Amino acid sequence: MLNTIHLQTFLAVVEAGNYSAAAERLHMSQPAVSQHIRALEDQLDRVRLFRRVGQQMLLTHAGEDLVVSAREMLALSARAEESIRALRGQISGRVIVGCTPSSGEMLLPGLLKLFHGRFPAITVAVTVAPIETLLEWMEDHQVQVLLIEESQRRRGWESQQLGSERVALLAPRGHSLLQQDQVPPGMLREQPLVLPRPGTPLRRLIEDGLRRRGVGATDIHAVLETDAIGLTLQAVRDGLGLAFVPQLRIPRGRELGAVDLAGVNLQIDWYLLRSRERSAPRAVQELYTFLGSKEARTLLNKERLKFASEER
């Protein structure tokens, strides 16, 4: 019988790409990871599961064959454990949630506090990454639930819209555009901008919104492209350029102000995604159901309204 700890270590190396990264992910030493892999190989008649290429550990043919079975065995083990705990009225497990570096980071703590009060034995791990990376991880089953700003229509996936928020154009206090009641969008042709990376949902939203007001993508001048909200805000404070930022990420205080762009009303939506697997662990099902519940939506709406009232 294969050891589940050995299988977990094996999959961690597969996903991380090498022993040291897997050790960091598993909170164990690199020699311990190597020992688990050797023990697994010995149990499988000393077959080699990895081959080293530079700093990367690549799967052998035998390793590739083992990946699917390892995931199935660990999922079965997790479901068995959950079933036993459920008999005692306790649902347990670990759910990996992925979100983009956007308002998801701000929204999740409050939601997870409510969820933890209901399911204290479920551990939620949150990872933040660009949307293209998160979608790859979802395909590879490295994350189980996504909170992102763009709906995805893929076979075997389901999604639901959770809410939305306004996107504001920020300028440092004292900027000339903040003195105007309404600024014609064409004025942005003369302004340096700090923008999200091309191809991201927020960048597409900005470009589409400006295009409808006669300002094309080639008309604007990006001096910095980044998805890091902290870097974006600091760039605005330092006078590098103006930036479009979701309202929940705008810091309280008087360092920054919102420019009133005439006729431009940008709004970004949040979506919750997961894979449609009937065998999904109970913990995943419960978290996905909770995040899409009326209670969670009410909390999200309160946060949005709270910010809007403070902004006024």
Query: Residue range 201-206: average pLDDT?
Result: 92
Nearest to 277 by CA among 267, 291, 288: 288
Residue 178 pLDDT > 60, yes or no? yes
Q: Tell me the per-residue pLDDT of 20-72, one tens digit each, with 9 for 90 and over.
A: 888 888 888 888 999 999 999 998 988 999 999 988 999 999 999 999 888 88
pTM of full prediction above 0.85: no
Q: CA 106, CA 104: separation in Å to the nearest integer? A: 5
Q: Is the pLDDT of residue 143 over 80?
A: yes
User: Quick one: pLDDT at residue 83?
Assistant: 65
Q: Where are the domains of the chain?
A: 4-85, 90-162+269-311, 164-268
Q: Which of 24-28, 183-187, 196-200, 285-289 has the lowest mean pLDDT?
A: 24-28
100 residue type, one letter? T
- Give residue 196's pLDDT: 92
- Residue 1, pLDDT score: 74
pLDDT at 302: 72
164-268 adopts what CATH topology?
A: D-Maltodextrin-Binding Protein; domain 2 (3.40.190)
Residue 137 in this model has a pLDDT that exceeds 70: yes
Same topology for domains 90-162+269-311 and 164-268, yes or no? yes
Helices 4-16 and 30-43: crossing angle, nearest 10°?
A: 120
Q: What percent of the chain has pLDDT over 90?
A: 34
Q: What percent of the chain has a predicted confidence (pLDDT) above 70?
A: 92
Contact 189, 216 (CB under 8 A): no
Handedness of CA 32, 33, 35, 36 (dihedral sign): positive
Give the C-alpha separation, 167 to 135, whole Å. 24
Number of C-beta neighbours around residue 306 at 10 A: 11
Would you say how long the chain is, in residues?
312
Instruction: Give the integer Cα–Cα distance in Å for 188 and 183.
Output: 9
Supply 283's token pair. 């913990």
Report which residue type is found at 10. Answer: F
Q: Which residue has the tokens 């006669």?
A: 214
First to last CA, the chain: 64
pLDDT band at 312, cuts 50/70/90?
very low
In CATH, what number does 90-162+269-311 get? 3.40.190.10
Q: What is the CATH number of domain 4-85?
A: 1.10.10.10
Q: How many CB atoms lie within 10 A of CB 41?
A: 18
What mean pLDDT do residues 125-136 have? Answer: 89
Residue 87: its pLDDT value, please?
Answer: 54
pLDDT at 222 exceeding the cut of 50: yes
Write down the mean pLDDT value for the chain: 86
